[in-house]
Amino acid sequence: MSRLVLVSNRLADPRKPAAGGLAVALGDALAASGGLWFGADHEVIEDGDPRAGELRVQRAGRVTLVTVKVARGDYERYYRGYANGVLWPVFHYRLDLAQFDAGHMDAYRRVNRLFAQKLQPLLQPDDVIWVHDYHLIPLAAELRALGCQQRIGFFLHIPLPPPLILAAIPAHEWLMQALFAYDLVGLQSEADLNHLRSYLSSEARAEVFSSHRFGAFNRVLRAGAFPIGLDVDAFAALTQGAAARKTLATMREQYAHRRLLVGVDRLDYSKGLPQRLRAIRTLLERHPETRYSATLIQIAAPSREEVDAYGDIRRELEGLAGAINGDFGDLDWMPIRYLHRTVARNRIPGLYRASAVALVTPLRDGMNLVAKEYVVAQDSADPGVLVLSRFAGAAEQLTDALLVNPYDTEGTAEAIRRALVMPLEERRQRHERLLAKIRRYDVHWWSKTFLDSLLEAHP
Ligand code: GDG
């Protein structure tokens, strides 16, 4: 078996249950192959510190974790400036929020080159390298420049926008050409794959060999849609755990006479939170029977607070939640409970299960795992209803949710009302179909399908 080498900006200890995401998804494959996980060190050192570029090596069972120290100036420009100041907004269709700065792009290249220089000596000829997300798009090109011949795959966790949006990025040609250094590029959805295809044929004049194979820059690129899933059994077990049950009991007691709606998001402008609150206002205005009977618990976990746009969205949300509570609330009822805080992971399934409706209404999202978690946490005898944005990658799979356009305030409010009154039989049928999809395309399916395709893709 080839050794798996995972590369991502940050890494987590795969032995820790709270690690989540990639650690859960790839922990087994990493451990089974005695794998290596490489990324930036959590300690960002001051500029001029001679330790820049130093490696820290840790063992986590059979997995080796290697992190590289990056100096503050470069890390800020690479991470906050370019990855989260340009790529995140543009890839979520928010050109208005992108802040282009040539210095940030240079640092992005430099940090990718540093990663490549430090990783390359650790590689073995037979390794399979899997690079994750928008922080590291040019990594394979840097590795190839150092002579790496190994199989290298890339997975983009966020959406890929249409060609004319991508083309607004100065040096987009360089960025997209860098993808050709990978043997396989994985995207979350068919929509993203269509955008890649049309970018490559219109902007890069690539030869389209088939719907998944493209030729340009003397290389062949394979690409596919590999929608990421959950570790369903682990999440179901978390739902049965003590913390989740306690949370469920507390919620049931506190809201005995009310229906709960829930939203759980990182506080990010892509998640459509202001639009969601406006839909709640419309619901309360148009359907007075929902007053006193429904409460939205909105968790907005703090995220990237050093980026300006995140401060703006936070202030906007606080204003909206305060105004709705002020206008509609009463001594014994508030329509919105807004928490700007991270809630412990083991309590979240209890909150999902206590809620009659989940509002997952991003303006654009690569996949959105909250939608899937909510479905898994439900009691199948009396499940809640998922209201899901059609602009989340998950909407391609979860067609039995109530799909909404989050920009359409009235339409979203109406879907929430419909969710609140949906008969048990319909809720059960929808839930059964949603759960079957989520189980079939779980995280193990995702990693296996991607890695199998990567092995096939290599010449
Ligand atoms: C990116 C893409 C893609 C949220 N609040 C708390 C908390 N969470 C957990 C949720 C869920 C995770 O964070 C969020 O995952 P999402 O998939 O919804 O979104 P992103 O963080 O934007 O992730 C996304 C994903 O990558 C995977 O490829 O689906 O499209 O944007 O698991 O439960 N967890 C805890 N406390 C919170 O307050 N513990």
Ligand 1 center–CA 371 separation, angstroms: 10
Same domain, 307 and 422: yes
Looking up residue 343, the CATH number of its domain turns out to be 3.40.50.2000
Ligand 1 center–CA 362 separation, angstroms: 12
pLDDT given at position 394: 98
Out of 135, 157, 195, 212, pick the active-site residue.
157
- Per the structure, the complete domain to which residue 449 belongs is given by 4-229+443-457
Residues with C-beta less than 6 Å from any ligand 1 atom: 157-158, 228, 264, 266, 299, 301, 342-345, 348, 365-370, 373
Q: Which atom of ligand 1 is nearest to the CA of 18?
A: 39
Same domain, 109 and 240: no
Long-range contacts of 248-257 (CB under 8 A, 24+ apart): 248/350, 248/351, 248/353, 248/354, 249/350, 250/350, 251/350, 251/351, 251/354, 251/355, 252/354, 255/295, 255/354, 257/293
pLDDT given at position 309: 78
Strand order in the sheet with 259-266: 336-339, 294-301, 259-266, 357-360, 385-389, 402-404
User: How far apart (Å, rounded) are the C-alpha atoms in residues 350 and 91?
Assistant: 33
Q: Which atom of ligand 1 is nearest to the CA of 393?
A: 30
CA-closest residue to ligand 1 atom 1: 157
Same domain, 15 and 152: yes
Q: Which atom of ligand 1 is nearest to the CA of 360?
A: 18
Same domain, 218 and 252: no
Same domain, 412 and 423: yes
Ligand 1 center–CA 230 separation, angstroms: 11
CA-closest residue to ligand 1 atom 35: 345
Ligand 1 center–CA 275 separation, angstroms: 19
pLDDT given at position 306: 77
Same domain, 259 and 278: yes
Out of 74, 127, 365, 442, pick the active-site residue.
365
User: How far apart (Å, rounded) are the C-alpha atoms in residues 435 and 82?
Assistant: 37
CA-closest residue to ligand 1 atom 30: 366
Same domain, 236 and 278: yes
Ligand 1 center–CA 264 separation, angstroms: 8
Q: Which atom of ligand 1 is nearest to the CA of 366?
A: 30
Same domain, 300 and 397: yes
For residue 65, the 8-state DSSP code is E
Q: Label residue 384 left, alpha or beta by phi (over 0 means left) and psi (-120 to 50 means alpha).
A: beta
Give the mutation target among 367, 374, 441 for probing the ligand 1 site: most ligand atoms within 8 A of CB: 367
Q: What tokens appear for 54 in the block?
A: 């130093």
CA-closest residue to ligand 1 atom 4: 265
CA-closest residue to ligand 1 atom 23: 368
When divided into structural domains, the chain yields a total of 2
Q: Which atom of ligand 1 is nearest to the CA of 342?
A: 38
For residue 365, the 8-state DSSP code is B
Same domain, 138 and 245: no
Is 104 catalytic? The answer is: no
**Cα torsion 390, 176, 11, 299: sign:** negative
pLDDT tens, position by position, for the chain (459 residues)? 789 999 999 887 766 655 456 666 677 778 888 899 999 998 889 999 999 999 999 998 889 999 999 999 999 999 999 999 999 999 999 999 999 999 999 999 999 999 999 999 999 999 999 999 999 999 999 999 999 999 999 999 999 999 999 999 999 999 999 999 999 999 999 999 999 999 999 998 899 999 899 999 889 999 999 999 999 999 999 999 999 999 999 999 998 889 999 999 999 999 999 999 999 999 999 999 999 999 999 999 988 877 777 888 899 999 999 999 999 999 999 999 999 999 999 999 999 999 999 999 999 999 999 999 999 999 999 999 999 999 999 999 999 999 999 999 999 999 999 999 999 999 999 999 999 999 999 999 999 999 999 998 865
Ligand 1 center–CA 159 separation, angstroms: 14
pLDDT given at position 307: 77
Is 157 catalytic? The answer is: yes
Same domain, 290 and 405: yes
In three state form, how does the secondary structure of 255-312 look?
A: CCCCEEEEEEEECCHHHCHHHHHHHHHHHHHHCHHHCCCEEEEEEEECCCCCCHHHHH
Give the mutation target among 370, 445, 446 for probing the ligand 1 site: most ligand atoms within 8 A of CB: 370
Q: How far is CA 315 from CA 41, 309, 342, in A?
A: 31, 10, 17
Same domain, 451 and 410: no
User: How far apart (Å, rounded) are the C-alpha atoms in residues 243 and 345?
Assistant: 9
Ligand 1 center–CA 369 separation, angstroms: 6
**Bridge-partner residues for 128, per DSSP?**
4, 151
Same domain, 247 and 212: no
User: How far apart (Å, rounded) are the C-alpha atoms in residues 98 and 287?
Assistant: 38
User: How far apart (Å, rounded) are the C-alpha atoms in residues 140 and 181?
Assistant: 5
pLDDT given at position 171: 93
Ligand 1 center–CA 373 separation, angstroms: 10
Give the mutation target among 264, 343, 442 for probing the ligand 1 site: most ligand atoms within 8 A of CB: 264
